[in-house]
């Protein structure tokens, strides 16, 4: 399946194409992102139909995903192709200046996250940030302190190897970090008694796909997108239970 949010030519004809460009405008100022209403009424139903049309009830398929995806869209696509149903995701990922194909079924490396910042108390709303591509701590702290949403707690994590271009060097690292991310979400969700995870992803698309694919039974998840001059804004809410 080829999924384009910015039109591109990949040299072959896609088995299935989703064109969501009108709902995400990365050139607009401020950047336009899909609303929850758009997700509920247009994007999620079209994704569900695409999965059904593509798989025709089959599992254990490899789904090749191409396109420039907003991170919330990558998470949603991964969530619709769960690994427990036998789906393998393959995505073109630019890593350290070159394009690679990342697969979700590779053996995980030893990559792990560390938790440099956490605060809060038991309550419904847990703000959880995974910073891989760079340092997002200032943005996350500003959101935690100033958002209309009254977050009860906040967890900010980074790879043990540090952030930046070399934080993830292979799909084995991406898979390992996705597995650890899921474990950390479950751990802190239980610790803080949260029923809603507010998810900030500053990470490669491949990691977001792989995390979405493994996100099960962790309550409601609200995915955020970065909007210039407005910090992170909620875009997509999914119920994983």
Residue 219 has pLDDT above 80, yes or no: yes
CB 186 within 8 A of CB 218: yes
CB 181 within 8 A of CB 130: yes
* Range in 46-60, 114-128, 168-182, 199-213 with the lowest mean pLDDT: 46-60
The domain total for the chain is: 1
Mean pLDDT of the chain: 88
CB 173 within 8 A of CB 111: yes
Distance from C-alpha of 178 to C-alpha of 176, rounded to nearest angstrom: 5
Confidence category of residue 7, pLDDT binned at 50, 70, 90: very low
Q: Could you tell me the CA-to-CA distances from 200 to 89, 103, 136 in Å, in that order?
A: 22, 23, 9
The phi and psi torsions of 115 (rounded to 5 degrees) equal -120, 85
Q: Which domain holds residue 69?
A: 2-239
The phi and psi torsions of 216 (rounded to 5 degrees) equal -135, 145
Highest-pLDDT range among 66-70, 199-203, 224-228: 199-203
> Which residues, in sequence order, are CB contacts of 66 under 8 Å at separation 6+?
2, 3, 4, 8, 10, 14, 91, 92
pTM above 0.85, yes or no: yes
Which tops the pLDDT comparison, 188 or 92? 188
């Amino acid at each position: 399946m080829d999924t384009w949010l910015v039109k591109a030519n990949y040299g072959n004809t896609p088995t299935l194409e989703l064109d969501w460009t009108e709902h995400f405008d990365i050139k607009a100022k401020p950047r336009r992102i899909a609303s929850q209403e758009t997700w509920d009424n247009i994007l999620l139903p079209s994704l569900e139909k695409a999965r059904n049309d593509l798989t025709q009830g089959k599992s254990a398929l490899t789904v090749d995903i191409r396109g420039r995806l907003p991170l919330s869209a990558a998470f949603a696509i991964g969530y619709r192709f769960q690994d427990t149903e036998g789906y393998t995701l393959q995505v073109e990922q630019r890593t350290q200046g070159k394009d690679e194909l990342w697969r979700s079924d590779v053996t995980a490396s030893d990559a792990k996250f560390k938790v440099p910042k956490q605060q809060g108390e038991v309550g419904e709303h847990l703000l959880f940030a995974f910073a891989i591509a760079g340092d997002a701590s200032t943005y996350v702290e500003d959101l935690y302190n100033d958002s209309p949403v009254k977050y009860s707690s906040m967890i900010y994590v980074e790879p043990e190897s540090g952030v930046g271009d070399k934080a993830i060097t292979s799909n084995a690292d991406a898979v390992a970090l996705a597995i650890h991310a899921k474990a950390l979400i479950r751990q802190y969700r239980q610790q803080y008694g949260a029923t809603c995870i507010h998810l900030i992803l500053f990470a490669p698309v491949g990691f977001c796909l792989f995390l979405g694919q493994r996100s099960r039974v962790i309550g409601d998840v609200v995915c955020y997108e970065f909007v210039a001059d407005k910090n992170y804004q909620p875009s997509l809410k999914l119920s994983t239970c």
